[in-house]
Structure 1
Amino acid sequence: MKVRVDPERCQGHTLCAMRAPKAFRLSEIDGHSSPVSEEVPDDQQDEVVEAVRSCPERAISVF
């Protein structure tokens, strides 16, 4: 599984990092998210899927 965050849609709500703290890093400036790695380790996939569901801006996609 791979994950991406659309920087144009992300508004810095930080919910993704709360759901999957090992998979997302947050900007110290504005809280915007980016994946730690495009490839999601097997043990983090459930958390990343939950992060996708929790994003109010629908800025996270998995494929």
Structure 2
Amino acid sequence: MDCLNTSTQNQMIYYWLDGYWITDKEEAELMDSINAFGSLHQVVELPVNANIDQEVSRLLKQVA
């Protein structure tokens, strides 16, 4: 019998208060070091198939 892999693949998303987001941690740290977006990045873990724009927008509305 084959065992189904039911675990969900996740990815880390690095985002800023202006809604910009990326998936590369080193780039996020670089953007913070030059104050590219006027705030430090936040981090959220989302499923690979998530609508990232929608999820980041939802997160930003929670802090507003």
Q: TM-score, normalised by structure 1?
A: 0.32
Q: TM-score, normalised by structure 2?
A: 0.32
Return the index of the structure with the highest Cα Rg.
Answer: 2
Greater RCO, 1 or 2 (C-alpha within 8 Å, sep 6+): 1
Judging by fraction of residues, say which structure has more helix: 2
